[in-house]
Amino acid sequence: MSEPKKLFIKTYGCQMNVYDSERMAEALAGQGYIPTDTAADADMILLNTCHIREKAAEKVYSELGRLRPLKEAKPDLKIGVAGCVAQAEGAEIMARQPLVDLVVGPQSYHRLPELEARAGRGRKALDTDFPEDDKFDRLGARPKSQRGPTAFLTVQEGCDKFCAFCVVPYTRGIEVSRAADRVLLEARDLVERGVREITLLGQNVNAYHGHEAGLAGLIRDLARIDGLHRIRFTTSHPNDMDDALIAAHAEVEKLMPYLHLPVQSGSDRVLKAMNRKHTADDYLRLVTRIREARPDIMLSGDFIVGFPGETDADFADTLGLVESVGYGQAYTFKYSSRPGTPAAERVQVAEDVKDERLQTLQALIGRQQRAAQDAMVGRTVRVLFEKPGRMAGQMVGKSEYLHAVHVQTTGVERGDILPVRIVSSNSNSLKGEI
C-alpha cells in the first residue's frame, strides 16, 4: 500500500474560502492526500486566495516566492493557486510564476482531481471556467469524520448587485443558490458528526432562492433538525432583507440574535456612486424594523472610507449613521481599487485622508464595541464551548451574540452549551462563570 501524500492549504479571506478549502481537501482525499499543517512536509500546496483586500494578488506572488526553496528542494512538489485571485488572474499567474503547477477558480474546484492528475504528468493545469455542472453535486458526500461544534455551510454563491468597488460578480459569477434538499442533507450530516452550530454562507446569502420560501424557509427547515442548536448566516445585503427573514429572527429560537448587515457608507451621494441601490434612511428604517422584531439583536457592519469622491461631509454622514445604529462590531476598510471595477477608473482620495478617516471611524466603532461588551457584565448568556483556553482549566466559547467568552472550570467538554454569568469585560472577550 502506497504512503499517503500530504496536502497543505493556506486559506485567505472570508468564511466561504474556509468552507471551500475543506471541500478541496475532501476532493483530493480520493487521490490519496491527507492534510498537513506544515508546508515543508507537503507533497502539494494550495493557496486558496481572496481578491477583496488591498494588493491581494501581490501578496499571493510574495507567498509563491517564499515557496520557491521548497519547490527547488522537492521538484515533485505540486503548487496550486485557487480562489478569487486565481479566477481573476489565472493566465498571468501561470506566466509570471513558472513554479505554479495548477490554477483553479472557485467555481471549478470540484475538478481538482483531474487537474492534479494532469500536473502529475508534468503538464500545467488551468481551469477558471464558470462550468454549467453544479460543483456541489460533483463533490459528492462528505466524509464521516468527527467535527468540531461549529461549521460553515455554503448555500449561495456569486452576486448580481455589481457594487462599483467589488470584484465578486467577476470572480464568483452571478447569484446561484444550492437546492434546499442538498443543504439540509449536508446539515444533517454535519450534525451527525458533532456540529451544533451552522453558519450559512453566501456572498449575498439573503438572496438565497433554493427554497420556495427563500432563506427564511431554509432556516425554519434547518431549525427542525434534532441536535442542531444554533443557526447563523452571513453576509447580507440590505435590499434582500425581506419581511419573512425579519420574522424568522423574531420566531425561530435557534436563529441567533446576531446579524451582519453591511452598509458601506452613511452618505446617500456615496451610496449612489457605489451602486448600492439603497439610501442611508432605507438602511436605518430597516434596522428599526429588525430591532422591533428582535430587540436584543447585535448588529455588525462593513464600512469603506475614502471611496472615490468622498468628501468630509460624506464621511461625517457615515459617522452619523454609525452613531445612530450603535454597532456591536464592524469591519472598516480604506478603499482600494480593483482593476475592472467601475470605481477603479475614478479620481482617488488621497491616502493620508483615507488614513485619518479610517482611524476616526475605527475609534468610534471601538467605543461602541466596548460599550456592547461592557453591557453584558451581570447578564447570563448561553455559551457554546469550542476549545480549551490558554490557561489550564480554561474553556472558550461563543455566546449567542458571538462574543468570545472564557471560563475557568472543569468538566466542560467541547460542544457543551451552558448558561454562563458574565463577570467582566476584557478588550476582545468576556469572562464568565458557569
Q: What is the pLDDT of residues 63-93, one digit of tens each?
A: 899 999 999 999 899 999 988 888 878 888 8
- Are 267 and 318 in contact by the 8 Å Cβ rule? The answer is yes
- Are 365 and 331 in contact by the 8 Å Cβ rule? The answer is no
CB within 8 A of 66, min separation 6: which ones?
Answer: none
Residue 413 among known ligand-binding residues: no
The average pLDDT across 35-57 equals: 84
- Are 325 and 286 in contact by the 8 Å Cβ rule? The answer is no
Summarize the chain as % helix, strand, coil (round to 5): 40, 25, 40
Q: CA separation (Å) from 114 to 27, 39, 47, 108, 285?
A: 10, 22, 18, 11, 50
Residue 215 among known ligand-binding residues: no
Residue 84 among known ligand-binding residues: yes
Q: Specify the pTM.
A: 0.82
The average pLDDT across 404-426 equals: 94
Residue 166 among known ligand-binding residues: yes
Residue 42 among known ligand-binding residues: no
Domains in the chain (CATH in brackets) are 5-127 (3.40.50.12160), 135-374 (3.80.30.20), 380-433 (2.40.50.140)
Can you give the pLDDT at residue 122? 82
Q: What is the pLDDT of residues 141-167, one digit of tens each?
A: 556 566 889 999 999 988 889 999 988
Q: Of 254, 261, 279, nearest to 198 (Cα)?
A: 254
CB within 8 A of 47, min separation 6: which ones?
Answer: 9, 10, 12, 60, 63, 64, 79, 80, 81, 82, 83
- The radius of gyration computed from the CA coordinates of the chain, to the nearest angstrom, equals 22
β-partners of residue 405 are 397, 430
Spatial distance between the Cα atoms of 164 and 97, rounded to a whole number of angstroms: 30
Q: What is the pLDDT of residues 301-338, one digit of tens each?
A: 999 999 999 999 999 999 999 999 999 999 999 998 88
